[in-house]
Structures are given as structure tokens and as C-alpha cells.
Structure 1
Amino acid sequence: MEITGIAQREAWLKKVIPPVECVAVGLWSVPVVFPRNPMRYTLAYVLVDGDDCLVIDPGFDSPQGRLDLQAGLGAAGVGVKNVTGILATHFHTDHLGMARWLRQMSGAEVILGRAEKRYISAFEDPADESAADRGRMRTWGVPEDRIHEAALDVAGLMHLKRLADADLRVGDGDLVPASANKLTVVETPGHTPGHICLRDESRGVFISGDHVLPRISPNVSLEMRGDTDPLRSCLESLERIEMDDDFEVLPAHEYRFNGLAQRARELKSLALGRSAEVLALIQAQQNPTVWSVAESLRWSRGFQSLGGLQLRLALSETAAHLQYLRTAGSKHDVEGLPQHQVVG
């Protein structure tokens, strides 16, 4: 893998915000701060072609984030009022968060993948939803004094509920409006059920969202009403993009790079290795639960240091591996783990 975003990588290593960069003709990389999160920022992309101005993954909505995005638009020679399209690769707050404000300011349509539905915030009563999520954490074996950290509370659920809805949905092979017909949609479910990437053959770039990152393995979580086997979907999506190896990869975090096929194979290998690790723990434990397996796995920051959202992601990712092993059939029989402890 060849790192092409040299300044971005240096900023990542120094834990500072990278500069706005023109990464191809009419295409700018714009870092937008992601407050109180280890990822620190999202790399939004501003694409300007004639009268078209598309903002891809506008980022988390915060006062500083709005300033960051406006600075990036200014570097591209446009302003908020010039935005003609807003596209989010998936339904997460650090990607879709600022779409509602940007739509209000510009009048542009919000575009999402056709399968990216409100699976997390598809509830009627947030209190009932929070209670159901706490119940799920209990079936996963989460200690009672840690459930409040891992489960979604009412405030968090309402934050998700306020995220922008799609005005327009696009599917595999579609051309994205407001991109001068230069961006082709590539459906890549896994990180979320309707995650999409974007291929720009004219510029030789592949905008990967969170599906492929150069250093981090993107989280794949089992969520209520989401994909019933998200890790399997992710692995299939990684196989589908290996043919796009000639493109420079523009991810939503970290830094740009070449070598998409190699990185996709690495991510598949890492995921399958993790599943093998999970299987060994299930076979070794007398009464395995999602919690007991997760706390025995190797995590970059150590399981004991995880709290809040990071703890939830670790548990949901572990559950995704358990579900993948279960659906793999007799070859990977998950003995001793009740079905209700896995299904989202």
C-alpha cells in the first residue's frame, strides 16, 4: 500500500487536524472536527464541476464543524449557497450529522444509499427503545453496573432521530446527481446496511467512506433492526471492490492511499482471523456470552479502558462475529451460545 496523503498522515500521527487539500481537479478534501471522539475528524469531500457543487460526508454538526466545512468550501471557491447536492456514504453522525443544517442553508437535496434506512432510530417511543436496548445488553451478559454505558439512552436516540432524512436514494451503478454525472455508486453494505462508496473514473479516485480505511479496521456491528449478518455483508463488499485497484482511495478518516485490492484483502484476513479468535474463546468458555467473549479479545486500547460508545461498538462487533460464525453452518458450530444472545 502506498500512502498518497502525506500531509494527512503526518497530521494523523501528530493528532492534529490536517489541511484542506485539492486532491484532484475540482475535488477538495476537507477535515471536519468530530468532537470528543478518538477519530478526531471526518474527511468531507467537496466536488465542484461547473454549476454542480456536491458535498460528500459533511461531518458531525457542531459550531466548529460548520466553520471547518465553510472554510473548505471557500478553498474550493464556493460558499454554502452554492451547494447543489449533499451525499452521505452512510447513516452515522460523523458523516450525515451536518446534512440537515447544510440543506437548510443551501436548499440542496440529501442523498443516501437505497438500503440506508433508519434502522437504529426506527422507533416510536425513545424510552421504550432504550429499555429494549438495555434488555438486549442483559442478554449479552453485560454486568448491570455497565449497562448504562453500553445501551443507547433517550438523549442519544433522539439525537439519531434528528438526523436528516434522504430526499433522494441511489443504488449500485447509479450516477450521483450534482456531480456532473462523474460519480458512480458502489453499494458496500457491512459497516452499515446501506453504506455506499463512489467511483470517479475521470479523476481516478475511489471515495470509500468507512468501508475501507488505510490503518483502522472499520467497525461492523450487529444492531437491532439492522443487517442480520453484517460481517458476511462486509466480507462480500470487500470482495466486490478489489477490481478497483487502479484508483486512489479517498477515505473518510486517516489519509489517502493507493492499493485498494491489497487493503481489501488485508481487511478480509483480519476479520476472518478475528472470527477464528472468537470461535476459540467460545469453545474454551463454559458459559460464553457476548460480554465474556468481548472482554477476552485483544483490543487496541484494551477492553478495560473502553467505555460509552467505544464499549458499545466492541460488544456489537463481537456479536457480529458470533452471528457470522452461527450462519456459517456446522463448520463453525457455535455451541453453548443461546440464539437470543446473538441476534440483534
Structure 2
Amino acid sequence: MQTDAPAITITGTAQKEAWQRRVMPPIELVAPGVNSVPVVFPDNPMRYTLSYVLVDGNECVVVDPGFDSEEGHRQLLSALADLGVGPGEITGIVATHFHTDHLGMAARLARGSGAWVALGRQERRHISAFEDAHEESALDQSRMLGWGVPHGRVAEAAMTPEGLLHMRQLADPDRRLGDGDSLSVAGRTWRIMETPGHTPGHICLWDDNGELVLSGDHILPRISPNVSLEIRGDTDPLRQNIASLRRIAGNDHYEVCPAHEYRFRGVGHRARVLEEHIAERSREVLHVLGKGAPTVHEVARRLTWSRGWESLGQLQFRLALSETAAHIRYLVTSGAHAGVPGLVLAD
């Protein structure tokens, strides 16, 4: 893997300092009409989402408004007020993908303003595509058992009826955005690029004249975004993610405005580092499979994790399993591994 592109340059220095100190970063003017606003993500290691408020005299579009909580709502409304925008003056909401720390507050903001809500053209809320939440939870528990999760941890790993119903409350889109589409706001034309992987319909927004990109969770400066084999999601999400990383691998002079951590330049370098990380992880998974690990859980248990396997609980436990399953699926579809007896990867 060639990684000779320049290393990243941190541009959000105050954001990085805040991340390291584990405090909320400041509201910042990234460029004329483009404002970075942190919105708290309660009880989650990511701590907050960096929302982007695009505003001019006639329009106000909020990109990735964040998780829907009372505290987060107050934070966002306070920031809007400082920008001279009332809660009823939001004209549009764009979520780079459907996860609750991005789309979560869209429904509340839309109710208070009549704003349109946009998602990627291919984004389908597959996790909430069910008829009965209790039946769906039971099916997911069966799936976890098939992945070899011990009986005592199945309830921890599987989606609960309450969690599934919460996903149902997320806003439905009024508009769909994909390759070839653009969004004109704040005196800028934002080119839409589909970047599936983290979710099936993830999008990034590129301002080619201003050399900015709102990257959502597709590319972050330090963390490797989770790519999971999920309920009715992409059948080979890791392959999609690699293709998406290659799509954005140029334009190192653009400033990347991610939804977590801090702004930076050097998107090509970062994309190549992330692709190499995927390759290293796949080699590790293949090695573990070669040792005879019979289930997704057993493979995941034998992998290296930054905070240690024993520290992974609740959502982090599920994400570790789903990420491992995505790597196994990628190896199988690449012909690198033909599967082992008992290894179940049913979607």
C-alpha cells in the first residue's frame, strides 16, 4: 500500500485540544457562512457530534444536527441564536447518514421549523425495517447465537425492542441526495458524493470552490470509522468502504470537516492509512480463521482491540462483532477464505 501522500495537517487546533482534554470544543467559523457547532452525544465514547450550520441571509441548513437530547437541543439552539437564526428559521437539514448521532435531532428541528430533511439516495433505515419490534429483537438474538455469542451475552449484543423502536422515531427524508446532485446554500455549491461503507447511503458534501468537504463519519483524522455487517444492510460493506476511500483519495489541499474529532487537511493520506488499516485487520482476521476459530464471536475475541476485548460492552460489543463479521464476509467474497464449519454469517 502506497502511503506517500503528505501526512495530515491539523487545522482544527482548538477542536483537537478539546478532544484531548475531553471537553466540548468551541463553536467556530470554519469559513464564511460555515459554522462548526458541537452537540453532545450522551453516554457514548464519541462524546459529541460536530454539526455544521450553513447560513446566509435567506437560508439556514444544518448538516448532521446530532443526537436528540434536551442538552443537545439547547446547545444547538443557542448556537443558532448567536448566528441570528431562530428555531423556526431553519430551512433544511442534511444528515450524512441515518445514525442517531447525526439524524437524531432532525425530526425535532423539522417539527419546529418546517425544514426539509435530506438523506443519501441509497440510505435505507434497514435496522428499523421491521413489523414487530419484539419479533425483530428475537431474530437478532438468534443471529447473535449463530455468531457464537455466549448465551449470557446475547441480550447485551442484540438489538432490544426499545432500541429498535427508538430507531423508528428518526426523521424520514423529504429529499434524497446522491452523485450528480448539488446543494446551494451559504453562497456555496456543495457537490454530493456517495460514500457507502459506514452505512449503505453515506454521503459527503464537497465545496470545490471553497476547498472544503463535510465528511460525516466516512473519514476522521484519528479514529477508524466502524464498518459493520448489519441487519439487512450492505452484503459486503467493507468492499464498499474501500471503494469509497479510493474515491476521495485526492484533493489533499481540501479542509476536511468531519462529524467527530477535529478538522484537518490531507484527505488522500488519511484515506490510504485507513485502507491499509483495513488490509492489516483483514490479515489478522485471516490468521485467526486459519487457527480454526469457528464463530464470529471467537474470531472477534482473538483479535486485538485498542481498549482490550474485555472492555467492550453493550453497543461497543455489538459493533466489534459486526465489524469482525464484515471482515470475514470481505475475505469470503475476495476468495481469501472459503469459510469454516459452523461459521454463520446470515444477514
* TM-score over 0.5 (shorter chain): yes
State whether structure 2 residue 345 is matched by structure 1 residue 342: yes
For 2:270, the equivalent position in structure 1 comes to 263
Q: Quick one: distance in 2 between partners of 1:293 and 1:39?
A: 25
Determine the structure 2 residue equivalent to 1:85: 92
Question: Counterparts of 1:218 and 1:153 in 2: how far apart (Å)?
Answer: 23
TM-score by length of 2: 0.96
Which shows bigger deviation, 70-79 or 121-130?
70-79
**Counterpart for residue 333 of structure 1:** 337
Percent of paired sites with the same residue: 57
Question: Residue 274 in 1 paired to residue 251 in 2?
Answer: no
2:132 to 116, 125, 132: 125
Aligned twin of 2:160 = 153
Structure 1 residue ranges without an equivalent (≥5): none
Alignment check: 8 A CA contact 2:198 2:228 kept: yes
* Residues 1-344 of structure 1 mapped to structure 2, 5 A cutoff: 1-176=8-183, 178=185, 182-285=189-292, 287-329=293-335, 332-338=336-342, 341-344=344-347
**Residues 51 and 21 of structure 1: CA distance in aligned 2, closer, same or farther (over 3 Å):** same
Amino acid at match of 1:242: A
How many Å separate the matches in 1 of 2:339 and 2:12? 46
Aligned amino acid, residue 70 of structure 1: L
Q: Which amino acid aligns with 1:135?
A: S
Unaligned residue ranges in structure 2 (runs of 5+): 1-7
Residues 83-103 of structure 1: CA deviation (Å, up to 9, x unaligned): 110000001000000000000
Aligned to 2:4: none
Residues matched between the structures, number: 340
1:183 and 1:200 in contact (8 A); partners too: yes
SS at match of 1:90: coil
Query: Cα distance 1:26–1:278, how it changes in 2: closer, same or farther (>3 A)?
Result: same
- Tell me the secondary structure at the aligned position of residue 84 of structure 2: coil
The letter for the 2-side match of 1:81 is G
CA RMSD of aligned residues (A): 1.2
Larger mean CA deviation between 177-186 and 221-230 belongs to 177-186
Runs of 4+ in 1 over 3 A off after TM superposition: 177-181
In 2, the alpha carbon distance for the partners of 1:82 and 1:200 equals: 23
Q: Post-superposition shift, 1:333?
A: 2.0
Displacement of 1:179 after TM fit? 5.5
Shift of the 23–180 alpha-carbon distance from structure 1 to 2, 3 Å rule, reads closer
Query: TM-score normalised to the size of structure 1?
Result: 0.96
Instruction: Say which SS state the counterpart of residue 285 (structure 2) adopts.
Output: helix
Deviation string, structure 1 residues 117-149 (Cα, Å, up to 9, x no partner): 121100010011000000000000000000010
